[in-house]
Structure 1
Amino acid sequence: MKKSIAALLLVLLLLGVAGTYLGENQERIELWPWKKSMPFDGLSKAISDAQNNLFVIDNAKKTIHKLNPEGVLQFSITSDTGKNGEVYRFNDMAVDTQGYLYTIRTLLDPYGIVVKSEQIVRYKPDGKFDRSLFTQEYSDSQSKRYRIGSLRNIQIHEGMVYFFNDEVSKLSLYQTPAGEGSTQEPTLTNTIMLPSNKYVAEADGYKLGAIYYSTRSGEIYHAMADGRSEQVYPLPGIDRTRRNFPESMHLDEQGRLIFIDFNARMIARLDPKQPYVLEALVDDEKAKANHVELAFDTTTSSVGSDGSLIIVESAQINRRLPDGTITEPLVEAKFSSAERKGTLFVWFIAVASLLLVLLAFKLIYFDLLKRRLPLMVKQIFILIPVIALSMILLSTVIYNSFSQKMEEETFSELILLAKNGQNLVDGDKLEAMSSPLDYRGSAYQSFRKRIQAVFENNVRDDNQGFYKAVYKYEDGVIYRILEDDDGMHMFNPFQQTPENQQVVLEGKTATGQWEDFSGEWRYAIAPIYNSGGKIVGVFETSKNLDGLLKHRQAVLHSIIRNIAYISVGLLLVLVVMTYVLLSSIRKLRNSVGEIAKGNWDTVVTIHTRDEVSDLGDSVNLMASRIREYITKVENFSQSYYRFVPQQFLRFLNKETILDVELGDQVEQRMSILIFNIRAFFQMSKGLTPEENFNFVNSFLKRFGPYVRKHEGLMNKYLGAGFMALFPNQTDEALMACVEMRRELEIYNGHRANVGYKPVDFGIGLHKGPMRLGIIGEEQRLEGTVISDGVNLATMLEKMTEPLGASILITDAVVQSLERPADFLYRDLGLIQIDGVKEPLHLFDVYQGDPETIRVLKEKTKALFEQAVTFYQVGRFYDAREAFLMVIKQNRQDKAAQLYFYMCDEYFGQGTTGEWNGTLSVS
């Protein structure tokens, strides 16, 4: 259980880390890991730096890419989203010699139409944001702008950043130092007063007297050094239809004007020194000659650092080299190997995260739920996903239904608004418009004012975000006249579609939708008639699906929020109901748990009068029967444990005597203790059988508890003694022997008080391997111990009297003592016992002997053990003298006496060839 929970917590932690990492690299998830390049989609501008790196504004002005000369992507700058859903767009850019990038960043409303503010923003050479240099706010209706603001043409010259600010009646030029460390605010360097009723479209140049600007009415003016403006295009006498509108105007290194004429489908160059000569740099004929196809619809251009002309269309970039050659189109940005590896790693993390989710699902629903958990917890684990899935399904159904209805209503609303265009736009006035010179004329202003009155006075969110456009139909061509995009110019031809042809030819209202890099659109168009009933124009109302999605998402969030509230409420109700319903089960569980713990007097009390109550009564009856049965079993077990110790069963890994089978056995290493009363059979001859039983029982009752006190077990009784086993520390076994020897002195004192003779006993202690098991036959079983150690311990007990010891132990016991210093014992040397092939290394433990004996043995211990050493190496004379000195101090030392006699014999007669340094005792 703990391992599963720990594993689940680890998985959740890893998921949190992976989720954070994937959130920070979300844009890479949108790229397939095997893609080697990224196609352009919605290009609007491209420039190059001194190293011929290319900077492009892509993705409908949402992203800036930097590409090296080989077309490999170096970094991307993605536009942000405002705090209230506003969107940022990049409208222009320039790069200095240090690699710093300067952009005009425009903040639009959530629908991407109305400009809220503009900034000149600087980015570091690695694409990281540096600082904002200049900000222009558009807060009042008088300064309202559409799609693009008032800032124009950011440019770098001679270490300075220049840009224009269109202030309606005048054009202001600002400058600020470029490069790293520059923090100076932009300063106004020049102001150009515009001719009456002229409005700036684009501007270029930075030196007084060398500044040019184009107007929304289709002219190009030269700002003179004396403050006057002189028209340089088109000049009187030049054959122009007034529909040749100069767009994307800029200056080359020689001060020549380069602009795009969409009506003539060409990129032209005009030298102000020769204003009547218009050179076609690129047109359809020259493009085809270089096997290049240009659409001339959203085309822009700029001059590269190598003098080439960079031509940008919505999905491709071409260069016109100085020799007139047009290069193959660049249609995609290549990914570097590092970028591809990074994308692969992000996808690896994503796949690993998915596997972690599956693992978490497994841990919860296949591991944890199979374990012992409260029923309520299991219900929550099951109910929450079911409710969540139901909520998602219900939200999806409602959302899809609402979206479909909303889309139908949107089309209906667009159609209604498009038909209303006939009332908003005077057809006669529209028909009278003939050229861009009519820009912001009386008719133009009346159209704009009436349209704004209808569309912009309603503050409801679902009535905002409409895109309006007025088109003129003339000679089979549809021209743009007025729309919510200050970047579009009057009399720019609009492409023919089946829908708008249906309107201008048949007079029917049409609806449609299209998807491009700027979004997914829904639109409706209706005809505009003059007073004679002739179709002279088209009125369009459209909406970007991004705007609709905002409303859909708001509704979806509302639906999810309400369903979530309902789901949480349902979940709480279910949890409370479950808690109440399970209370009787919990009572039953707790009562049964108490019974299982052995509290047999527990009574289950449930008053619900249902199946659980009946079950409680049955449990009470069962508990009563079990209580009676267990009482009998316990009594039987307690009685049986008097014959077969519980520890013996544990050694065999048996819970009760019922589990024991014939042949069960186990090998253990234990201390074996043999205890016997000396001369018991002679003493028993003077006692009656009843007195013998009473004596043995009282004697064992007095000394047996010392075995249990030191974690030993009585294996069997031997008539005048017993055999005990000690599975734990040898120190405990030896301490039991010592305490029993001390108890003997107290016991004999009590016997003397009532006139009984004292008794004595011997103890043999050995440690070694033994096999415990069950012997017998099916109808009669007995637990026993089979080991050479038992025989050895028995012989040790018999040798205690001839060696003058009360406790004899082997060297195996001494070597296994953890605290040998806690005991008093002496080395008896190697003793050869009859019936045992190998001599035994024995020790005399005298710690429990009477004080007189204990003191004398302790006093002569060193001399005795030295004498034993002399004996073992055959120095019998020295050994005899040493033993003699021991005997003189302790005349009761039988072991010293035995050694003395053997030394005397061997010293006088010599030893046999089989003698091995042992003392033979029989």
Structure 2
Amino acid sequence: MSGVTTKETALATKLSKPEPRDETVPGSNAHGRFVSREIIALMGKDDITSVSLGDHIEKTMTILFADIRGFTSLSEEMPPRENFTFINAYMKCMNPVIARHGGIINKYIGDAIMALFPADADDAVKCAIGMLRQLAAFNRSIKKTGSSRIKIGIGLNTGLMMLGIVGGEHFMETTVISDAVNLASRIESMTKDYNVPFLISEHTYYSLFGASEHNTRFVDRVRVKGKAQCQSVYEVFDADPKSLPTARQKTKADFEEALAFYHFKDVPKATKLLEKLLRRVPGDTVAKVYHERCLRFLKTGIHESSGEFDLAISWNKSMAIDHSLIDEQHRDLFIHTREFVEAVKTSKNYSQLRNVLEFMDKYIQVHFRTEERLMAQKNYPFLQMQVDQHRRFSRYFDGLRNEIKRNFETNRIFILFRIQVLIVDWLINHTSKLDLHFGKFLRYRKGRGLKSLS
């Protein structure tokens, strides 16, 4: 980006001018400018004076990271005062959008924003779309001064998090402790790799009540440090320039078919499909990334993928929650999923596969009901989260059945691709993350000498 002009600085100064405030506001309100009142309320406290070190809650939330692209280079061209004036003008544009969608700003990290959405993932997705649209308005404003537009990247992830108070005698702040935070940050950084503004994790994708309301598509799988299972990442492109979302939605099936061939290492077919797609939508940056990968593979033989598609699914002791019935059902579910994958590979026609699909569907529902009854019996505080996840998975499984019926005879590779991202990844991540949390809860209760949990 080119240097910021004095006109832009004047505009930024105008935008960042503080709102008039009542000087009679009690001192606790001043603290509220540094420790969010919303976070204090979320923790069940009345005001900042009632907060103590170690106060905490555990809650499912969606975390948002937003970062200005290339701000380090931009900031080097501005003196300190202009740096802060500009960044405050940008923050002033974004903060109301976050607040309108139920978000709570947890931290400013340089030019980055870290926000929490305690209600549901849909709020966070709508907020990110709103931020991108607000950015367009901000860019139109600074364009009038002759300045270049800025870009941002936004990443979302959803999961169980611990929110609490840390610090010392003279300084305290709120912090979030969870590996979900690291994944959200990683996904935000991936927006640079694919030259897109907005990516979400599979955990956020599967937590959406209104996923069908948005333009989304699978982008890649990423291996996260410290995690054995790869994480799927999705693009949300509702805020793209006017004609692009429609074009991408129309080519979504071709795009995902090309990715299926690429990830299952049939690169020549993937290359042809991507070239056809790029002739129709030349501005599809993710398709360009995959096309470049294909060309490099054809030249070097090196397959670039951080999360290989192998359809491997196996239960191990690290997934045990130490409840005999649930652990047995999990083991059986993994076995039945492997049999399902094998049936897709070997069945000669859809009629041979139908019985396997029906059995899988029934077994999943039996397992979900068993798990939910046990959680209700043990007063598990995150039961509703599990119920919501189970219901959404059931809807996705129904959709997969329809996809299999439509495509089984003509495109088995695409079906295996869909099974990987909709069934295998979900089951492994759900079992090794959310169900393990329930196991931790059971062991905690048992360790405190409460009613037997076996």
TM-score (norm 1): 0.30
Distance 2:121 2:184 in 1: 14
What is the match of residue 875 of structure 1?
266
Aligned counterpart, 1:722: 113
Q: Retained in 2: the 8 A contact 1:804–1:893?
A: no
Please state how far the C-alpha of 1:832 moved relative to its aligned partner. Answer: 4.2
> Superposition pairs for residues 437-452 of structure 1, below 5 Å?
none
2:110 counterpart of 1:703: no
Of residues 641, 644, 649, the one that matches 2:32 is 641
- Determine whether 1:779 maps to 2:170: yes
In structure 2, the partner of 1:449 is none
Choose the corresponding residue for 1:657, options 48, 55, 59: 48
Query: Partner letter of residue 164 of structure 2?
Result: G
Q: CA offset at residue 860 of structure 1?
A: 2.3
Deviation track 1:190-222 (CA, whole Å, cap 9, x = no partner) reads xxxxxxxxxxxxxxxxxxxxxxxxxxxxxxxxx
**How far did 1:740 drift?**
0.8
Question: Whole-Å Cα distance in 2 between the matches of residues 750 and 910 of structure 1?
Answer: 48
1:26-84, Cα deviation, whole Å (9 max, x unpaired): xxxxxxxxxxxxxxxxxxxxxxxxxxxxxxxxxxxxxxxxxxxxxxxxxxxxxxxxxxx
> Are 1:802 and 1:894, in contact at CA under 8 Å, matched by a contact in 2?
no
**Quick one: higher RCO (CA 8 Å, sep 6+), 1 or 2?**
2
Which residue does 1:792 correspond to in 2? 183
Counterpart of 1:235 in structure 2 is none
Match for residue 753 of structure 1?
144
TM-aligned CA deviation for residue 778 of structure 1: 2.0
Distance 1:904 1:848 in 2: 30
1:866 maps to a residue whose letter is: E
Residue 238 of structure 2: SS of its match in structure 1?
A: coil
Using the TM superposition, give the Cα deviation of residue 829 of structure 1 relative to its aligned residue in structure 2, in angstroms: 3.3
C-alpha distance 710-903 of structure 1, shift in aligned 2 (>3 A): same
Give the match's secondary structure for 2:193. coil
Offset at residue 691 of structure 1 (A)? 0.8
Q: Distance in 2 between matches of 1:907 and 1:890?
A: 23
Shift of 1:868: 1.2
Give the TM-score of the pair, scaled to structure 2: 0.59
Q: What amino acid sits opposite 1:784 in the alignment?
A: T
For residues 216 and 98 of structure 2, the distance between their equivalents in structure 1, rounded to whole angstroms, comes to 20
Root mean square deviation of aligned Cα: 2.6
Judge conservation of contact 1:670–1:727 (CA < 8 Å) in 2: yes
Conservation of the 8 A alpha-carbon contact between 2:221 and 2:306: no
Does the Cα contact within 8 Å between 1:716 and 1:723 map onto a contact in 2?
yes
Secondary structure in structure 2 of the residue aligned to 1:674: strand
- Relative distance call for 1:836 and 1:746 in structure 2 (3 A) is farther
Return closer, same or farther for 1:643/1:679 CA change in 2, 3 Å cut-off. same
TM alignment of 1:14-163, pairs within 5 A: none
Q: Whose Rg is larger?
A: 1
The C-alpha deviation readout for 1:316-339, integer Å capped at 9, x for no partner, is xxxxxxxxxxxxxxxxxxxxxxxx
- Decide whether aligned partners of structure 1 residues 871 and 647 sit closer, same or farther in structure 2, where only a CA change above 3 A counts: same
Q: For residue 871 of structure 1, give the secondary structure of its aligned residue in structure 2.
A: helix
Q: Is the 8 A contact 1:745 1:850 kept in 2?
A: no
Q: Which residue of 1 aligns with 2:59?
A: 668
d(CA) in 1 for partners of 2:288 and 2:169? 53
Does residue 1:739 correspond to 2:130, yes or no?
yes
How far apart, CA to CA, are the structure 2 residues paired with 1:878 and 1:658?
Answer: 64
How many Å apart are 1:911 and its aligned residue?
A: 5.6
Q: How has the CA–CA distance of structure 1 residues 915 and 718 changed in structure 2, closer, same or farther, with 3 Å as cutoff?
A: closer
Work out the CA distance in 1 between the residues paired with 2:205 and 2:41. 27
Contact 1:645–1:713 (Cα < 8 Å) also in 2: yes
How far off its partner does 1:917 sit?
A: 2.9
Percent identity over the alignment is 32
Equivalence for 2:154: 763
> How far apart are residue 789 of structure 1 and its match?
1.4
Alignment deviations for residues 364-388 of structure 1 (CA, whole Å, 9 cap, x no partner): xxxxxxxxxxxxxxxxxxxxxxxxx
Asked if the contact 1:751–1:758 (Cα under 8 Å) also holds between the matched residues in 2, the reply is yes
8 Å CA contact retained: 1:706, 1:736 = yes
Which amino acid is the alignment partner of residue 807 of structure 1?
Answer: F
C-alpha deviation, 1:637, in angstroms = 2.2
Question: 1:46 matched to which residue of 2?
Answer: none
Residues 835/795 of structure 1: CA separation in 2 closer, same or farther (3 Å cut) = farther
| Matched AA of 1:843 | Y
Structure 2 runs not aligned, ≥5 long: 1-21, 311-454
In structure 2, distance between residues paired with 1:633 and 1:837: 55
Counterpart of 2:282 in structure 1 is 891
Supply the AA of the counterpart residue of 2:178.
S
2:130 partner letter: E
Q: Is the 8 A contact 2:271 2:295 kept in 1?
A: yes
The structural deviation recorded for 1:795 is 1.3
Give the structure with the higher percent strand: 1
Partner letter of residue 79 of structure 2? Answer: T
Q: CA deviation at 1:784?
A: 1.0
Letter in 2 for 1:771: M
In structure 2, how many angstroms separate the alpha carbons of the residues matched to 1:795 and 1:770? 17
**Equivalent of 1:817, from 208, 214, 217?**
208
Aligned equivalents of 2:99 and 2:235: distance in 1?
24
| Offset of residue 731 of structure 1 | 0.9
Cα contact 2:293–2:304 (8 A) shared by 1: no
Question: In structure 2, what residue type is equivalent to 1:849?
Answer: D
The Cα of 1:834 is off from its aligned counterpart by 7.6
Provide the C-alpha distance between the structure 2 equivalents of 1:719 and 1:914, rounded to a whole number of angstroms: 31
Give the corresponding residue for 1:587.
none
- 1:786 maps to a residue whose letter is I
List runs of 5+ in structure 1 lacking aligned partners. 1-630
Shift of 1:906: 3.9
- Give the corresponding residue for 1:206: none
The CA deviation at 1:774 is 0.9
